[in-house]
Structure 1
Amino acid sequence: MAVELSLGPGPTRRAVLARRVRWLVAATITYNVIEGIVATTAGTLASSGALVAFGLDSMIEVASAAAVAWQFAARDPQVIERREKTALRIIAISFFVLAAYVTADSVRTLLGSGEAEHSASGLVLAALSLAIMPGLSYAQRRAGRELGSATAVADSKQTLLCTYLSAVLLVGLALNSLLGWSWADPIVALVIAAVAVKEGRDAWRGDACCPRPHQRGRCHGE
């Protein structure tokens, strides 16, 4: 597909977008720290492996967002660009760690070593995350694409994956509470783990979907 050449956003617009990314990353980190503490506490009290895993996912998301925050802490556009590869590698590793943990926890659950138990606070937290995370992901992905930042786009995918995990947790806890289907959560979580591996490979190679500052066109999936 042909790509139209363009000068991209000017210095003023790029400064605005970089500031927007910093604010979105700060919001993501703040929310995920709170989410992680609540989820791991509720999971420990309810002996819920799914909730504890969700809390650890929040900490992984914090690591991913922190990498983007470090990159955009610089005000010089050239420094931001130089830091991009390192930040992408950190994000890729966070995807791999998430996939490994979710896979291990899901297999453990399927083998009967543990299962997601009823937790009212867990249901509320999952529903809240499901409402908040898509907006944060969309806003960061949009700003990242316009700015031409592969790291901002990759981190937005990490946030979107957290949304999927929120949905899995919510459905899994609900089905387990209502029908006793403890296997529902780990089965869907394994699918999400596979998606996380793919996104991690893309981030490692720098294949995040976004146009570079000097290009304008459509990227995959748009």
Structure 2
Amino acid sequence: MLRRRIRLLVAATITYNAVEAIVAITAGTVASSIALIGFGLDSVIEISSAAAVAWQFAGPDHERRERTALRVIAWSFFALAGYVTVEALRTLVGGHEPERSEVGIVLVAVSVVVMPFLSWAQRRAGRELGSASAVADSKQTLVCTYLSAAVLTGLVLNAALGWWWADPLVALGLAAVAVREGREALRGRTCCPPVRPADEDGCGCAGGGCDS
């Protein structure tokens, strides 16, 4: 049942993020918003992360595939951080002002509401199964929640007050968080045993894995 639940959560994550990525990247390109484009790219990376977890649990021995899945998730974070950093700095140095994006504001506001619930469900299932990669994927979804809130702030400040520099600054903050989460994924351990239903503290893998 746990593996089936994780597969369903993965499918929901991929579907939602596919729509989110298309809308965000399109709206971000139209408005020249690096924060919104970065948000869309994060959705693409979320899809790759979820796909890595799906691949892991598609085989009979998912524990053997754990490390590869974690590496895919980690390097997805690093790729996002690199792109967003370069583009955000180019925007700040060039003084290019992004336009307002009402579509982007609505999209990101919806994500602020949806993503926390999806992340919680992923993390709970991953901890119960003792899967570090599933928990890492839930962290990526949680990062998307933080990103949503930050991007929403930047978009609103730009639209309401004309603070164009808030957009690339938010993007740089996203890059810093992405690097941190990528490092955590690389350090993720696969030694976590499945947690008992009554164990609210998660797995007992000290220093890493499911509970880090």
TM exceeds 0.5? yes
Q: Deviations over 1:105-150 (max 9, x none)?
A: 2212221353432111111100011111111111101111111000
**What does 1:6-85 correspond to in 2, within 5 Å?**
16-74=1-59, 76=60, 79-85=61-67
RMSD across aligned positions (CA): 2.2
SS of residue paired to 1:152: helix
**What does 1:204-219 correspond to in 2, within 5 Å?**
204-207=186-189, 211-213=192-194, 217-218=201-202
Q: Which has the larger radius of gyration?
A: 1
Instruction: Please state if 1:184 is matched with 2:166.
Output: yes
Structure showing greater relative contact order (alpha-carbon pairs closer than 8 Å, 6 or more residues apart): 1
User: Post-superposition shift, 1:187?
Assistant: 2.2
C-alpha distance in 2 between matches for 1:188 and 1:53? 10
AA matched with 1:212 = P
AA matched with 2:72 = I
**What does 1:137-148 correspond to in 2, within 5 Å?**
137-148=119-130
Instruction: Please state if 1:95 is matched with 2:80.
Output: no
CA contact (8 A) 2:151 2:170 kept: no
Greater shift, 22-31 or 159-168, is seen at: 159-168
AA matched with 2:21 = G
How many residues are treated as equivalent by the alignment? Answer: 203
C-alpha distance in 2 between matches for 1:56 and 1:115? 20
Unaligned runs of 5+ in 1: 1-15
Q: Deviations over 1:165-185 (max 9, x none)?
A: 111211111000111112223
User: How high is the TM-score relative to the length of structure 1?
Assistant: 0.83
CA contact (8 A) 1:116 1:172 kept: no
C-alpha distance in 2 between matches for 1:87 and 1:18? 15
Q: Deviations over 1:3-52 (max 9, x none)?
A: xxxxxxxxxxxxx1111111111101111111111112222223333322
Q: Which residue of 1 aligns with 2:181?
A: 199
User: Post-superposition shift, 1:72?
Assistant: 1.2
User: How high is the TM-score relative to the length of structure 2?
Assistant: 0.87
C-alpha distance in 1 between matches for 2:150 and 2:99? 14
User: Post-superposition shift, 1:54?
Assistant: 1.7
SS of residue paired to 1:19: helix
Q: How high is the sequence identity, in percent, across the aligned residues?
A: 66
Q: Deviations over 1:158-214 (max 9, x none)?
A: 111111111121111100011111222322332332222121112112248x94237
Instruction: Please state if 1:163 is matched with 2:145.
Output: yes
The ranges of structure 1 where at least 4 consecutive aligned residues each deviate by more than 4 angstroms after the TM superposition are 214-222
Unaligned runs of 5+ in 2: none
